[in-house]
């Protein structure tokens, strides 16, 4: 198969238009980095929006110029794949607050001509989705055939269904939740504290100097433990040593220690610590239910649903997906639930491509047929 | 009930005697902080050794002069309690490598007359137990009626049973494991990395200056999440806010965030960061099995066992306790297993006193009768 090359493009609000966030703060510029794969049909009925997770970006599939690693969901997006680019027009955009091309704390504040840092306003999942809607509108797409994504991406999917019931034919929230629990907030808070404890963080004003790499690496290590399952960690590392025997010293002696350090060090080269704060905060704020009953929240939803969870995911346990399914069923909505048996933990949404691909392929196919398109 | 006042005492090796560790390194001084409760009977058959967990100390019960909070297992140790001090002589000592009076990285190295810091040799669970044996010997106690403890304390219990089969009548490992899994090592490693990333850590040479408080606080926060269960966190905090509404700012807005920060800040005032490195390392090294079959490890064990686990403990899941039980049963040993239903997670060994107390009381009573003592 030939390598599919992709290019990141940028969307901007028309000159003079501002974007008001849930907090009431306003952004003067709403730059959104995005990629598209496949072609939009004439009726504009084949568009699928893919939403990324915490550390993801707009580059979901194919190869960027000069890179050897494809996009983060390349196993799922491409010709003949689950999101078949010979049939569908796939859009993926970097969330606002992120650091991969969309406006975020690293961007230049037009008022000061310096990076925002912590003066960037807090963004919510709803803000991310409302920004995506602007992007989707610019294509002239009235109804998205589907909105799909795992983890934080799944939260965006749920928000789309509730916020824009008329504009979404089908939804695929994967390994996600309709609100963060105390434990989920707690893990995020530890990551934030690790970053904010790093003296290099300097209250977020580190651009131009050394970034808080040590803090961000620790945050990423905590994250990685929660993304894997106990079983997958035991299988991958167990108590294996990097050297022949224990050295009775404070180096990374066990394979799992080396792996965590590697993951941490790797991450700081490609991610902005402030964005880590903003995006985890957005997830912690996420609560579709608030003071309502969850069933009530989904009352006016019009899309079909495929809800996917993974058996060994303990960060977003399947119970959270089942709660979504129940609340949709209470409203008589068209919802299919599938718990995929996997040892990969939360990471499964990026790794268990075979079964996930089949499920999504069929679901999209039926959704597409229901629109009456060919 | 009147307050029971206790006093920490200190054991030392005879002048000139050294203590060789598992690594081959030698300690010239083996200071051990310990407390005792109740009286040793004439036959010296009523002694119970209690082993503490990561953040514990020798002060297991009663009140220290001028303190309002009793020892860490005061609900279990005292007149009429599970470890009935009217009947038994209870000993609790601070582990070597610790920071609560026993020799550890904060102690003065007699060779340099400066604090050891990272020049303190790595200690193992076996080293801790061999040091405890010296202490027990000095009382002239030949057989301990029981060795008991939770978490890291439980590892010491298992090591006692294997190391000194002739000297232990009964063993009570609680919420523990016979070896650390990859996930358990990983959580410890994140804590260590948080400490070692703090510039104030200065490769362990911070005594006399500012300790690495920020790193240690983050390590403690990670720990706390693993000590609680998802359910207990949801019950205690849920998504409760500290203020009336979300402030869209990076303060601690959710109750659970405030709790973690409080716990972290509190811990740094009472614990030494280097000891945190040494003790987590000792736990990660712990592996009773090594290259043998676990059943083989317990072949020569002579003591009776009460193995206790808690239903919601996901840090030391009950499967790990059941593995111990199975291996003991394979050798026809006298072992009782009890999984206590609790929402408290790993912390349950410190909080679920009622059911735990009953189990231990009866078990000790029977063990004591079996010795022929009155």
SS3 call for A310 = strand
Contacts of B192 (CB under 8 A, 6+ apart): A250, B219, B276, B277, B280, B281
If you count residue pairs, one on A and one on B, with CB atoms under 8 Å apart, how many are there? 153
Which residue of chain A has the CA closest to B239? A182
Provide the terminal-to-terminal Cα distance of chain A, rounded to the nearest Å: 27
ipTM of the complex: 0.96
Cβ distance B186 to A233 less than 8 Å, yes or no, reads yes
For residue B264, the domain's CATH number is: 1.10.1740.110
Q: Bridge-partner residues for B340, per DSSP?
A: B310
Using CA atoms, how far residue A323 sits from A151, A160, A184, in Å, is 15, 18, 16
Interface probe with B: pick from A24, A123, A248, most Cβ of B within 10 Å: A248
Residue pLDDT, tens place only, B95-107:
999 999 999 999 9
Cβ distance A182 to B233 less than 8 Å, yes or no, reads yes
- How many CA atoms lie within 13 Å of A286's alpha carbon, on the beta-carbon side? 31
Interface probe with B: pick from A25, A121, A189, most Cβ of B within 10 Å: A189
Closest Cβ opposite residue A218 in set B186, B190, B249: B190
Residues of B in contact with A197 (CB under 8 A): 194, 198, 214-215, 217-218
Which residue of chain B has the CA closest to A278? B250
Mean of pLDDT values over A265-291: 97
The better pLDDT of the pair A67, A44 is held by A44
Which residue of chain A has the CA closest to B252? A189
> For the ranges A182-186, A249-253, B328-332, which has the lowest average pLDDT?
A249-253
Q: Residue A374 pLDDT > 70, yes or no?
A: no
Q: Domain boundary residue among A232, A247, A282? A: A282
CA distance B329 to A233: 28
SS3 call for A37 = strand
Residues B104 and B83 in one domain: yes
Cβ distance A197 to B215 less than 8 Å, yes or no, reads yes
Residues of B in contact with A23 (CB under 8 A): 248
Interface probe with B: pick from A125, A238, A239, A283, most Cβ of B within 10 Å: A239
Residues B34 and B47 in one domain: yes
Closest Cβ opposite residue B183 in set A179, A197, A233: A233
Closest Cβ opposite residue A182 in set B196, B222, B237: B237
Identify whether B346 is a catalytic site residue. Answer: yes
Which one of the listed residues A313, A321, A347, A367 is annotated catalytic?
A: A313
Q: Residue A148 pLDDT > 70, yes or no?
A: yes
Residues B227 and B301 in one domain: no
Residues B208 and B78 in one domain: no
Closest CA to A138 of A325, A315, A247, A13: A13
Cβ distance A182 to B25 less than 8 Å, yes or no, reads no
For residue B349, the domain's CATH number is: 3.40.50.1820
Cβ distance A218 to B179 less than 8 Å, yes or no, reads no
* Proportion of chain A above pLDDT 70, given as a percent: 99
pLDDT at position A3: 81
CA distance B322 to B330: 12
Q: Residue A1 pLDDT > 70, yes or no?
A: no
Q: Domain boundary residue among A251, A282, A313? A: A282
Residues A22 and A77 in one domain: yes
Residues A46 and A153 in one domain: yes
Cβ distance A189 to B260 less than 8 Å, yes or no, reads yes
Q: Domain boundary residue among B231, B265, B282? A: B282
Residue A229 · residue A345 · CB < 8 Å: yes
Q: Residue A244 pLDDT > 90, yes or no?
A: no
Cβ distance A193 to B260 less than 8 Å, yes or no, reads yes
Residues of B in contact with A116 (CB under 8 A): none
Residues B331 and B209 in one domain: no
- Confidence tier at A352 by pLDDT (50, 70, 90): very high
Residues A125 and A204 in one domain: no
Residues B295 and B175 in one domain: yes
Q: Check residue B49 and report its DSSP letter.
A: E
Mean of pLDDT values over A234-250: 93
Residue pLDDT, tens place only, B201-241:
999 999 999 999 999 999 999 999 999 999 999 999 999 99
Residues A70 and A144 in one domain: yes
Closest Cβ opposite residue B197 in set A179, A214, A246: A214
Residues of B in contact with A317 (CB under 8 A): 230
Cβ neighbours of A297 (radius 10 Å): 21
pLDDT at position B374: 67
Which residue of chain B has the CA closest to A252? B189
Q: Bridge-partner residues for A47, per DSSP?
A: A89
- The domain in which residue A274 lies consists of 185-282
Residues A29 and A158 in one domain: yes
Which one of the listed residues A59, A180, A224, A346 is annotated catalytic?
A: A346
Which one of the listed residues A151, A303, A318, A342 is annotated catalytic?
A: A151
Cβ distance A181 to B222 less than 8 Å, yes or no, reads no
Q: How many domains does chain B have?
A: 2
How many distinct helices (H) and strands (E) make up chain A? 11, 16
Cβ neighbours of A44 (radius 10 Å): 16
Q: Buried b vs exposed e over B306-345: b needs ≥16 C-beta within 10 Å?
A: bbbbbbbbbbbbbebbebbbebbeeeebbbebbebebbbb
Q: How many residues does chain A have?
A: 374
Cβ distance A225 to B190 less than 8 Å, yes or no, reads yes
Smallest Cα distance from B237 to chain A, Å? 6
Average pLDDT, chain A: 96
Residues B174 and B115 in one domain: yes
Per-residue pLDDT in tens (0 to 9) along chain B, 374 residues:
578 889 999 999 998 999 999 999 999 999 999 999 999 999 999 999 999 999 999 999 999 988 999 999 999 999 999 999 999 999 999 999 999 999 999 999 999 999 999 999 999 999 999 999 999 999 999 999 999 999 999 999 999 999 999 999 999 999 999 999 999 999 999 999 999 999 999 999 999 999 999 999 999 999 999 999 999 999 999 999 998 889 999 988 999 999 999 999 999 999 999 999 999 999 999 999 998 999 999 999 999 999 999 999 999 999 999 999 999 999 999 999 999 999 999 999 999 999 999 999 999 999 999 998 76
Residue pLDDT, tens place only, A149-181:
999 999 999 999 999 999 999 999 999 999 999
């Amino acid at each position: 198969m030939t390598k599919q090359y992709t290019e990141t493009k940028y969307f901007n609000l028309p000159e003079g238009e501002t974007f008001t966030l849930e907090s009431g703060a306003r952004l003067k510029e709403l730059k959104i980095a995005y990629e598209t794969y496949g072609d939009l049909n004439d009726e504009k009925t084949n568009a699928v929006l893919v939403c990324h997770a915490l550390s993801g970006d707009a580059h979901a599939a194919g190869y960027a110029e000069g890179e050897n690693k494809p996009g983060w969901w390349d196993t799922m997006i491409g010709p003949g794949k689950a999101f078949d680019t010979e049939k569908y027009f796939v859009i993926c955009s970097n969330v606002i607050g992120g650091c991969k091309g969309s406006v975020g704390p690293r961007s230049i504040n037009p008022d000061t001509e310096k990076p925002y840092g912590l003066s960037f306003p807090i963004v919510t999942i709803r803000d991310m989705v409302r920004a995506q809607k602007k992007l989707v509108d610019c294509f002239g797409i009235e109804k998205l055939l589907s909105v799909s994504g795992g983890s934080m991406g799944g939260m965006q999917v749920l928000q789309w269904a509730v916020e824009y019931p008329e504009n979404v034919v089908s939804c695929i929230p994967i390994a996600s939740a309709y609100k963060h629990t105390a434990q989920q907030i707690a893990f995020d808070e530890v990551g934030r504290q690790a970053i904010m404890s790093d003296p290099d963080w300097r209250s977020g004003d580190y651009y131009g100097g050394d970034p808080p790499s040590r803090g961000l690496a620790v945050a990423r290590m905590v994250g990685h433990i929660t993304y894997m399952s106990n079983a997958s960690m035991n299988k991958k590392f167990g108590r294996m040593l990097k050297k022949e025997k224990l050295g009775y010293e404070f180096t990374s002696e066990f394979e799992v220690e080396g792996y965590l350090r590697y993951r941490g060090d790797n991450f700081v080269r490609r991610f902005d610590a402030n964005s880590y704060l903003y995006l985890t905060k957005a997830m912690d704020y996420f609560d579709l239910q608030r003071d309502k009953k969850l069933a009530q929240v989904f009352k006016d939803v019009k899309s079909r649903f495929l809800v996917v969870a993974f058996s060994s995911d303990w960060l977003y346990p399947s119970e959270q997906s089942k709660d979504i399914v129940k609340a949709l069923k209470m409203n008589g909505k068209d919802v299919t639930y599938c718990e995929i048996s996997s040892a990969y933990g939360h990471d499964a949404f990026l790794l268990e491509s075979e079964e996930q691909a089949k499920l999504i392929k069929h679901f999209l196919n039926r959704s597409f047929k229901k629109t009456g398109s060919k």
